[in-house]
Amino acid sequence: MAFTKKIGIAAAALLGAVAFSNLTLRAQEGGAHESPNPTRQTWSFSGPFGTFDRAQLQRGFKVYKEVCSNCHELHIPIRTLGQPGGPGFTEDQVKTLAATYTVHDGPNLQGEMFDRPGRPADFFPAPFPNPEAAAASLGAAPPDMSLLAKSIKFERGFPAFVFDALPIPGGMYQEVGPDLIYAILNGYTKEDDPNWNLYFPGHKIAMGKPLAAGQVDYTDGTPTTLEQYSKDVAAFLYWAAEPSLEQRKRIGARVMIFLLVLAGLLYFTKKKIWADVAH
């Protein structure tokens, strides 16, 4: 049997096994997750050369600050907002913003706790003292948002998950988190039930519809629609979960280009070295 044929059969067997294990997995899950898969949105930060849209991150931060931060913690230092590759706030803007928060600090020399204005190195203060208190008041604990956009996921199923991993057009799909956040914010499709969500597993969500059109003022003329708010805040949360994404992608792209050039050089070196050998 030809070698290529053997490889072909092995590959087919492997794909078959993967498909089968995926099917059985889905069967075991039963009907618990009868949600449609969220639609893929276009994101400026997807793909090997993706970068964040600064204005979008600033709008997303505004939505987070005015709406989401009433319930969700965002456990990152405030100064992250001024780092390169982020929303691009200046050092002064970050200082001014930090000072608008009240931080519980102490004990001081008298052994007492006290409140003081925030500083850039402080973390965004949590809206509740602990998850139990949050759950008691909201019916469930809202997850911390610092990793949310990376941690929430849905199964794309076979064969999509194979293509998602490949470096082909439409492949290298890493934005399931922001797509799901967008889908949940737009998934309150039962008018009479503010806690029914098309995309939340089980459909019952303790978070009542948090956003509606016109709720947050945009100063740059961007439409104040639910869809736009959802995209902006999902982008902001993706950045918050990976503030160094741009740097990582830049290094990745450089490494790929370097490897391509190296491969070319090696090819011509090989040709030259073997040029005089009869074959």
- For the chain, how many helices (H) and strands (E)? 9, 2
| 205 lies in the site for ligand HEC, by CB under 6 A | yes
CB of 195 to ligand HEC, least distance (A): 8
Q: Which of 70, 130, 247, 269 binds ligand HEC (CB under 6 A)?
A: 70
Q: Which of 97, 98, 176, 184 binds ligand HEC (CB under 6 A)?
A: 184
The Cα 56–Cα 78 span in angstroms is: 18
The Cα 119–Cα 172 span in angstroms is: 39
- How many chain residues touch ligand HEC (CB under 6 A)? 20
Cβ neighbours around 200 below 10 Å, total: 19
Residue with tokens 């969220």: 38
CB of 229 to ligand HEC, least distance (A): 7
CB of 99 to ligand HEC, least distance (A): 23
With a CB cutoff of 8 Å and minimum separation 6, the contacts of 83 are: 243
In order, the DSSP letters of 209-254 are: ----TTSS--SS-----HHHHHHHHHHHHHHHH-TTHHHHHHHHHH
| 243 lies in the site for ligand HEC, by CB under 6 A | no
CB of 206 to ligand HEC, least distance (A): 3
| 47 lies in the site for ligand HEC, by CB under 6 A | no
Nearer of residues 94 and 141 to ligand HEC, judged by Cβ? 141
Q: Is 90 helix (H, G, I), strand (E, B) or coil?
A: coil
CB of 36 to ligand HEC, least distance (A): 15
> Which of the 8 DSSP states describes residue 117?
E
Nearer of residues 125 and 143 to ligand HEC, judged by Cβ? 143
Q: Which of 57, 68, 176, 235 binds ligand HEC (CB under 6 A)?
A: 68
CB of 38 to ligand HEC, least distance (A): 11
CB of 274 to ligand HEC, least distance (A): 58
- For residue 239, give both structure tokens: 């950045």
| 55 lies in the site for ligand HEC, by CB under 6 A | no
Q: Is 204 helix (H, G, I), strand (E, B) or coil?
A: strand
CB of 123 to ligand HEC, least distance (A): 18
* CA 19 to each of CA 23, 31, 174, 189: distance values in angstroms, whole numbers, following the listed order: 6, 19, 21, 33
The footprint of ligand HEC on residues 126-165 (CB under 6 A) is: 138, 140, 142-143, 152
Nearer of residues 53 and 144 to ligand HEC, judged by Cβ? 144
Nearer of residues 80 and 230 to ligand HEC, judged by Cβ? 230
**Torsion angle (degrees, nearest 10) of CA 70, 73, 75, 80:** -30
The Cα 12–Cα 22 span in angstroms is: 15
| 240 lies in the site for ligand HEC, by CB under 6 A | no
Where do contacts with ligand HEC occur on this chain (CB under 6 A)?
A: 63, 67-68, 70-72, 138, 140, 142-143, 152, 181, 184-185, 205-207, 210-211, 233
